[in-house]
Amino acid sequence: MDRINPFNPDSPVDPNNFEGREDILEKNIKILMETKHNKPKHFFITGNRGMGKSSLASYFKDYAEKKLKYIGVHIYNDGVHDIESLIRQIIEELLNNIQKESFFNKIFNSFKNHVESVNLFGTSLKFKPSENLLDHIKDNFAGFLVNMVNEFDNKNGLIIIIDDINGLSDNPEFVNWYKSFADTLFTNYRGKSPICMILAGYPEKLEIMHENNPSFTRIFSHIKLKGLSDKEITDFFNKSFNKINMGIDPDAIDILVKYSSGLPNMMQEIGNGTFYMTNDDDLITYYIAFKGVLYAGDEIGKKYLQPLFDSSIRSMEYLGIFEKIAKDAISNLDEDYFFRKKDFSKNLTENEKKVFTNFLNRARKLKILDYHGPKKSGYYKFTNNLYPVYIDIQSLDETQNKNRL
């Protein structure tokens, strides 16, 4: 049967398939709506890897574009370390997004000496500003945006997402610049700024920015993303499979939800794996779901871990330690899980205890674990919450499940 796969483990979710987070949406859409009355708003979305930051930002953008008739810009800032490149990226994306708008020429004309067009299956514009122009925009970014929005005749405002704010977070100049941009927008352009800014990044990046300028964090409405609830994940699987006219057995849903462990990216991987295990079936049985979970485990192993794992960490003792940490982590994944070396060693066998220090050093070198807080405190955390889930799936004992299959 020719069914379309409703799962997408490799990209932010399509806003139409966005699941759950109703409290967050309800509260923050109200804040977003205030920009309609020319009051600028700034959001900061934090959450661990794969928790759904880009998906949520993209949901807000879609909402603003469709319901408020805004122009939306979503850029990924990973690897960009200076403000000039950030501004260039924003303007380039904006020019590309408004190409079909009636007011395009008015805006384009002011940049035309700085734009190259590349014709490759449609036109894409490259913004190559002079240093002078860029410096000028950087010094007057608030005024620049407000003036631009004034040209949007049939659009009501602007929403800009600066995603993966990693590269810039270490740069104290950025936080100071952003703070002064936000203040200017608010004071000099009061009543004239239908502008919403959304920044998204890892929690530790926000901490660094806060340390660089404590006033910076005060600008924002903060959204801290945690794991999805079992109910939200159940709804997601039901809706996704219903869309392709498939039902799910109750014990199948249980295993899908259990191994998703609250993680949106794991939920998509498991849905995807389960979809691949179906043929002409109309029903997801326990057996299909079980194979789907193993498939997903294999995928994350290949995608995330294989390059990191080598034979040394797979020794019996290492694996035993890993399984124990993973089990401990699984029940705490939506909070930030960490453990203390001294306390954790009590759970280990004598042989495991002997290699525990080496294990931790090795896992840290491979970037599977990292220090939680200062080095000397002896606290550790997983760098990616998919790792403990992977280990958990690996230890799924097939023989134990044989009776059910």
Ligand X SMILES: Nc1ncnc2c1ncn2[C@@H]1O[C@H](COP(=O)(O)OP(=O)(O)OP(=O)(O)O)[C@@H](O)[C@H]1O
Question: Which residues bind to ligand X, rule: CB under 6 A?
Answer: 8-9, 12-13, 17-21, 47, 49-55, 164, 236, 264-265, 268
The whole-angstrom separation of Cα 21 and Cα 89 is 30
User: CB under 5 to 8 A by kind: which of Mg ion, ligand X, none does 9 bind?
Assistant: ligand X
Residues counted in the chain:
405
Identity (one letter) of the amino acid at 33? M
Of all helices (H) and strands (E), which one includes residue 206?
helix 203-212
CB of 76 to Mg ion, least distance (A): 8
Q: Strand ranges (DSSP E) for 4-84? A: 41-46, 70-76
Stretch of residues binding Mg ion (CB under 5 A), selected from 50-58, 123-131, 215-223, 309-317: 50-58
User: CB under 5 to 8 A by kind: which of ligand X, Mg ion, none does 167 bind?
Assistant: none
Stretch of residues binding Mg ion (CB under 5 A), selected from 23-31, 47-55, 355-363, 387-395: 47-55
Query: Which of 186, 15, 154, 182 has the alpha carbon at shortest distance from 71?
Result: 154
Q: Looking at beta carbons only, is 198 or 360 nearer to Mg ion? A: 198
| Neighbouring residues of 188: CB distance < 8 A, sequence distance ≥ 6 | 142, 143
The whole-angstrom separation of Cα 290 and Cα 54 is 29
Stretch of residues binding Mg ion (CB under 5 A), selected from 51-59, 135-143, 302-310, 371-379: 51-59
Q: Looking at beta carbons only, is 54 or 278 nearer to ligand X? A: 54
The one among 35, 46, 54, 274 contacting Mg ion by CB under 5 A: 54
Cα 345 versus chain centre, distance: 33
Asked whether position 77 contacts Mg ion by CB under 5 A, the answer is: no
CB of 74 to Mg ion, least distance (A): 10
Q: Looking at beta carbons only, is 50 or 273 nearer to ligand X? A: 50
Q: Looking at beta carbons only, is 145 or 329 nearer to ligand X? A: 329
Q: Looking at beta carbons only, is 74 or 179 nearer to ligand X? A: 74
Q: Hey, how many other C-beta atoms are within 10 angstroms of the C-beta on 136?
A: 13
Which residue has its beta carbon closest to ligand X?
A: 52
SS3 string of 62-112?
HHHHHHCCEEEEEEECCCCCCHHHHHHHHHHHHHHHCCCCCCHHHHHHHHH
Q: Looking at beta carbons only, is 285 or 385 nearer to ligand X? A: 385
User: Which residues, listed in sequence order, are joined to residue 248 by a DSSP beta bridge?
Assistant: 284
User: CB under 5 to 8 A by kind: which of Mg ion, ligand X, none does 333 bind?
Assistant: none
Identity (one letter) of the amino acid at 177? W
Which residue has its beta carbon closest to Mg ion?
A: 54
Residues 262-281 binding Mg ion (CB under 5 A) are none
Q: Strand ranges (DSSP E) for 220-278? A: 221-224, 247-248
User: CB under 5 to 8 A by kind: which of ligand X, Mg ion, none does 20 bind?
Assistant: ligand X
Residue 225 near residue 47 (C-beta atoms within 8 A) = yes
Interacting residues with Mg ion (CB under 5 A) = 53-54
